[in-house]
Chain A
Amino acid sequence: MNKVKWYLPIFIVFYSICAQSTIVHYNLFVIQDSMLTVNGEKLPYVSYNLTNHFRQENPILNARVGDTLTLLIHNRTNNVHQFQIQGLSKSPIEILPKDTAFVEVKRLLEGAFIYFDPYDFPVNSYFGLSGMLVVKNHSHKSFYWNLKDHQYALNFQLSEGTSVDWALYEPNLFTINGKSNPDINIDSDAKVIGSVGDTLVIHITNTGLGIHSLHFHGYHVEIVYSSKFPNHVGRKKDTLPIHPMASMILQLIPDKPGEYPVHDHNLAALRANKKYPKGMFTTLSIDP
Chain B
Amino acid sequence: MLEGLYAQKRVVKQLFSKIDLEPQFELPDGNKIALMGYTELLGQSISIPGPLLEFGEGDSVTLILNNYSQGAPHTIHLHGLDANQANDGVPELSFSVKHLEQGKYEFVAKHPGTYLYHCHVVSPIHVQAGMYGVIVIHPKLYGKIYGYSYEGKEYTFLTSEIDTHWHTKEFIQHAYDSNHTEISIPDYHPQYLMLNGKSNSDFLFDHIEVFSDYPRRHYNSLLHFANIGNCGNRFIFPSGFLARVVSTDGRPIPEGVDTVNILEVMPGERYDILLSNESLDNLLDSGIILVEYFDLNNSKVLGVQKIRIVHIDLPVVEKHVKQHARIFPNPTSDIFEITLGKIKVDQVKKTTLISIDGNKLKSYESFQKSFDLTGFPDGVYILQLHFDQTISTHKIIKH
Find out whether the CB atom of B80 lies under 8 angstroms from the CB atom of A238.
yes
Q: Does A277 reach chain B (CB closer than 8 Å)? A: yes
Question: Given A213-B269, A268-B188, are A169 and B85 also a contact pair (CB < 8 Å)?
Answer: no
B166-205 CB mask vs A (1 if < 8 Å, else 0) is: 0000000000000001111111100000000000000000
- Is B397 an interface residue when CB atoms closer than 8 A count as contact? no
Determine whether the beta carbon of B128 is less than 8 Å from that of A210: no
Asked, given contacts A235-B248, A237-B249, A260-B88, whether A267 binds B230 with beta carbons under 8 Å apart, the answer is yes
- Asked if B127 is at the interface (CB within 8 A of a chain A CB), the reply is yes
B252-271 CB mask vs A (1 if < 8 Å, else 0) is 01110010000010111110
Q: Which residues of A contact B80 (CB under 8 A)?
A: 220, 238-239
Residues of A in contact with B, size category: 35 or more
Q: Which of A215-271 contact B (CB under 8 A)?
A: 215, 217-220, 231, 234-239, 241, 256-261, 264-268, 270-271
* Contact yes or no, A172 B187, CB < 8 A: yes
Please tell me which one of the listed residues A168, A265, A276 contacts residue B298 in the complex, with CB atoms under 8 A apart: A168
Please state if B248 and A274 are interface contacts (CB–CB under 8 Å).
no
Chain A: minimal CB distance from B255 (Å): 6
Q: Which of B77, B254, B268, B270 contacts A235 (CB 8 A)?
A: B254
Quick one: given A239-B266, A261-B93, A267-B128, are A211 and B298 in contact (CB under 8 Å)?
Answer: no
- Contact between B251 and A220, CB atoms less than 8 A apart: yes
B303: which A residues are within 8 A, CB to CB? Answer: none
Contact of B93 among A172, A211, A234, A259 (CB under 8 A): A259
Asked if B269 and A268 sit within 8 Å, CB to CB, the answer is no
Q: Is A64 interfacial (CB 8 A cutoff)?
A: no
Interface centre among A166, A218, A238 (most CB of B within 10 A): A238
Whether B249 and A218, one on each chain, are in contact in the complex, defined by CB atoms closer than 8 angstroms, is no
Residues from chain A with a CB closer than 8 A to the CB of B124 are 267-268, 270-271, 276
- Nearest-CB residue, chain B, relative to A221: B249
Residue on B nearest A265 in the bound complex, by CB: B268
B296 in the interface (beta carbon within 8 A): yes
**Chain B contacts with A in 47-64, Cβ cutoff 8 A:** none
Indicate if the CB atoms of B82 and A219 lie closer than 8 Å.
yes
Contact with A along B62-83 (1 / 0, CB 8 A): 0000000000000001011011
A278 at the interface (CB under 8 A from B): yes
Contact of A267 with B251 in the complex, beta carbons under 8 Å: no
Cβ contacts under 8 Å, A276 to chain B: 122, 124-125, 181-185
The reply to whether A209 and B79 contact each other, CB–CB distance below 8 Å, is no
A275 within 8 A of B: yes
Digit string of A157-193 for contact with B (CB within 8 Å is 1, else 0)?
0000000001111111000000000000000000000
Contact of A211 among B88, B232, B249 (CB under 8 A): B232
> Do the beta carbons of A234 and B254 come within 8 Å of each other?
yes
Alpha-carbon separation in the docked complex, A202 to B260 (Å): 28
Q: Does B300 contact A (CB under 8 A)?
A: yes
A283 to B248, CA, bound (A): 23
Contact B269 A239 (CB under 8 A): yes
B8 within 8 A of A: no
Residue ID in chain A nearest B126 by CB atoms: A267
Asked whether A267 lies within 8 Å of B267 as measured between CB atoms, the reply is yes
* Contact (Cβ within 8 A) A210 B297: yes
Give Cα distance in the complex from A258 to B127, angstroms: 24
The answer to whether the Cβ of B84 comes within 8 Å of any Cβ in the partner chain is: yes
Give the chain B neighbours of A271 by CB distance below 8 A. 124, 185
Q: A149 an interface residue at 8 Å Cβ cutoff?
A: yes
Give chain A residues whose Cβ lies under 8 Å from the Cβ of B230: 266-268
- Taking CB atoms, residues of chain A closer than 8 Å to B298 are 166-170, 209-210
Report the minimum CB–CB distance from A38 to chain B (whole Å).
11
A–B complex contacts, Cβ < 8 Å, 28 sampled:
A166-B298, A168-B298, A169-B297, A172-B187, A209-B297, A210-B296, A211-B232, A211-B266, A212-B296, A215-B79, A218-B83, A219-B82, A231-B258, A234-B254, A235-B251, A235-B254, A237-B251, A238-B79, A256-B84, A260-B85, A260-B88, A260-B93, A267-B128, A267-B230, A270-B124, A275-B182, A275-B183, A277-B181
Report which A residues bind B (CB closer than 8 A): 149, 166-172, 209-213, 215, 217-220, 231, 234-239, 241, 256-261, 264-268, 270-271, 274-278, 283
